[in-house]
């Protein structure tokens, strides 16, 4: 695939290298420089004239720096005559800012979509957005992958599902968990949740039968771990036996590792959409790779094959 070029921002170089390994191509080279005043400059070191270019960058910490890095990289690629630019954003953090849920509040998810386009992207490839509606913020083609088959298959192979129930940590996650239970063919339950602030949530009623069951909690991300702490407490009080969590994006910010480890979950299964540093890896954590799926999607976008077929 001589006309395919893949570049990596700083957020998740390991994932970008793994994707390239699956495609059997070299990661293309760029140079990111930070000036003394904090400004960034990006130099593209390989020829991209008339090439189909993919830039891999997750919106993980430092979130705003990584976003600006992506914008400047795409702008440099456009100036260097790339034919088509796809922003590959395995984790799009601002998708949580998707509605007006307080007076005069920003909806940064939509703003980011506009800025991604303004920076030069012709299309976007992403995974497990916080809500499906965010897809509609973009006025360009978006391929929206899901980690459900990756996490679901691993759970099928390693967990006894005979008395399992999948649990949504809040009503907003019910659709996502609905797709997950379709994959695993198990019942589901939903917990009533209210977010008090960035780090604290409160939960109430559990809708569905969980008593005596093994709970497979499925969510889009672990950010501060506040949701998991509350969910573990709620489910323990409701009489579940084992608790296993499957989550696409291991953001693990602030006190998350401490929160998750003290929540007495039997297993935590995540993917590598966000790089998990060594010091954040704990005993019962499993990190599954999304690289084969992203590599296949990139190949299909490049060759004009269906990406939708990947979901069948």
Catalogue the active-site residues.
Answer: 193
Nearer Cβ to ligand R5P (121/151): 151
CB of 128 to ligand R5P, least distance (A): 10
Q: Please pick, from the candidates 46, 83, 84, 172, the single residue that binds ligand R5P as defined by CB under 6 A.
A: 172
Cα separation, 5 vs 229, in Å, equals 42
Query: What is the 8-class DSSP label of residue 311?
Result: G
CB of 245 to ligand R5P, least distance (A): 10
Decide: is 173 part of the binding site for ligand R5P (CB under 6 A): yes
Nearer Cβ to ligand R5P (204/212): 204
Query: Residue 198 burial by CB count (10 A; 0-12/13-18/19+): exposed, middle or buried?
Result: exposed
Q: What are phi and psi of 48, to 5 degrees?
A: -125, 10
Cα separation, 135 vs 145, in Å, equals 11
CB of 246 to ligand R5P, least distance (A): 12
188 in Cβ contact with 181 (< 8 Å): yes
Total site size for ligand R5P, rule CB under 6 A: 14
Nearer Cβ to ligand R5P (12/224): 224
CB of 253 to ligand R5P, least distance (A): 8
Nearer Cβ to ligand R5P (229/295): 229
Cα separation, 219 vs 222, in Å, equals 8
Find the binding residues for ligand R5P in span 217-276 (CB under 6 A). 219-227
The Cα angle at residue 275 between residues 225 and 47, in degrees rounded to 5 = 145
Decide: is 170 part of the binding site for ligand R5P (CB under 6 A): yes
CA 12, 228, 144, 292 torsion-angle sign: positive
Which residue ranges make up the site for ligand R5P (CB under 6 A)? 169-170, 172-173, 201, 219-227
């Amino acid at each position: 695939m001589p006309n395919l070029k893949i570049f990596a921002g700083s957020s998740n170089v390991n994932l970008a290298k793994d994707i390239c390994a699956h495609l059997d191509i070299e990661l293309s080279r760029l140079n990111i420089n930070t000036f003394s005043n904090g400004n960034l400059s990006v130099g593209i070191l390989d020829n991209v004239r008339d090439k189909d270019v993919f830039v891999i960058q997750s919106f993980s910490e430092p979130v705003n720096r990584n976003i600006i890095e992506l914008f400047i990289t795409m702008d440099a690629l456009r100036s260097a005559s790339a034919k088509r630019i796809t922003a590959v954003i395995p984790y799009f953090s601002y998708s949580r800012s998707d509605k007006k849920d307080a007076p005069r509040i920003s909806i940064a998810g939509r703003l980011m979509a506009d800025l991604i386009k303004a920076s030069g992207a012709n299309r976007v490839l992403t995974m497990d957005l916080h809500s499906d509606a965010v897809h509609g913020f973009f006025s360009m083609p978006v391929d929206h992958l899901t980690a459900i088959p990756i996490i679901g298959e691993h759970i099928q192979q390693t967990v006894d599902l005979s008395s399992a129930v999948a649990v949504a940590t809040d009503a907003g996650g019910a659709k996502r968990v609905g797709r997950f239970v379709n994959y695993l063919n198990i019942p589901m339950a939903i917990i009533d949740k209210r977010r008090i602030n960035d780090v604290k949530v409160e939960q109430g009623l559990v809708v569905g039968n969980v008593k005596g069951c093994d709970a497979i909690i499925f969510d889009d991300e672990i950010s501060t771990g506040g949701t998991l702490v509350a969910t573990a407490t709620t489910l323990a009080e409701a009489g579940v036996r084992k608790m296993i969590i499957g989550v696409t994006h291991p953001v693990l910010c602030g006190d998350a590792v401490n929160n998750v480890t003290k929540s007495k979950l039997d297993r935590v299964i995540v993917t590598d959409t966000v790089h998990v540093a060594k010091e954040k890896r704990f005993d019962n954590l499993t990190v599954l790779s999304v690289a084969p799926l992203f590599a296949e999607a990139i190949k299909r976008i490049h060759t004009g094959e269906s990406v939708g077929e990947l979901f069948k």
